Structure 1
Amino acid sequence: MAAEAGLLKLPFTHDDQLTRCMRLRFQSLQQKNLRPQDGEKLLQAHEHVYRVDFGRQDSLRFLRWDIQLDGPGKVTVTGTSQHWTPDLTHLMNRQLLEPAGIFWKKPGAREVECNEADAQEFGERVAELARIRKVMYFLLAFTEGLEPAQLKASIVFKA
């Protein structure tokens, strides 16, 4: 958590344990030939769980996303309305927030692009939830050849 002149930069942290746990739920259902609960969101192979820890819960104003991609591809960041729990394995589709932030980098490009209106609205929604959350979980879907190791992501607020 970096703070400079009233700025609060909160990094996205890959939650290995929760990602693994949600993948085990998916495998367990497959092995037992069972169907997921109605509306349950199962983690796909290209999706990973990340978290953002809010060290302070005063009024935060969303400023910008700080997304760096080391290679071409696309990452879709979807917030969850799920309150803190050690187990998100039964994440329901209705708990996924709209809009999602979609960030991409074209082959040979230096800059990461996004749909700015959706990214702005999504950031403001995260700022609202930060007032009542200590932790927020996100589903990140990596496509077009992008891998989690190629991502550095933070969200920047004015405190």
Structure 2
Amino acid sequence: MDQTEAASGDVVLEFKEDVALTEKMRLRVSSLQRSGQKRQDGERLLLPHEAVYRLDFGHQELSFLRWNVSLVGSGRITITGISQHWTPDLTHLMTRQLLEPVGTFWRGPDDDLKWLEADVQEFGERIAELAKVRKVMYFLFAFKDGAEPPQLQCSLAFTAC
């Protein structure tokens, strides 16, 4: 389980890339390209700069505290929650399953990390609400403007209720 409890009793959950699901979604894109088919109406295909990440909830009753984000170098990371529960047959991701708000974090060449405070606060609270009915939640991470997955460490801190 990717969960740690800090000395203060906070529960810290780290986002982990779901490599298998990301690869399946990339295969869907390449399969459509090879066969010349179009995506389903409303289907959201994975873009080359995106990957699927997940949070596994060991506690169901959580209260959001803060985001812990570290980005080495400059770039932009956009994190979008997904309302979908994935099944082994990989049901396709539809745009209506993308949650708002999104979490956007960025850093310029000589800047500190920045974000839209109200959006990331609301997003964290929404994740805590969804944890009450889920054991796992999926996210699309988009890496832009020079950001790469190895440059990012990202977790959420909660208080167990």
Question: Residue in 1 aligned with 2:76?
Answer: 74
Give distance in 1, aligned partners of 2:101 and 2:56: 21
- C-alpha spacing 1:72/1:41, structure 2 compared with 1 (3 Å): same
Aligned to 1:97: 99
Output the CA distance in 2 between the equivalents of 1:151 and 1:107: 15
Any unmatched runs of 5+ in structure 1? Answer: none
Equivalent of residue 88 in structure 2, options 86, 89, 93: 86
Residue equivalent to 1:17? 20
Matched, 1:132 2:133: yes
The residue identity in structure 2 corresponding to 1:12 is F
1-side partners of 2:150 and 2:21: how far apart? 17
Deviations 1:94-153 (A, max 9, x none): 0000010000111122x3210000101111100000011110000000000100111100
1:15 is displaced (CA, Å) by: 0.9
Per the normalisation by structure 2, the TM-score is 0.94
The alignment yields a C-alpha RMSD, in angstroms, of 1.1
Say if 1:84 and 1:136, in contact at 8 Å, map to a contact too: no
Give 1:153's aligned residue: 154
Does 2:82 match 1:47?
no
Answer whether contact 1:65 1:155 (CA < 8 A) is retained: yes
Once residues 31 and 16 of structure 1 are traced to their aligned partners in structure 2, the CA distance between those partners, rounded to angstroms, is 22
Report the residue type matching 1:155 in the other structure.
Answer: L
Q: Which residue of 33, 41, 54 maps to 1:38?
A: 41
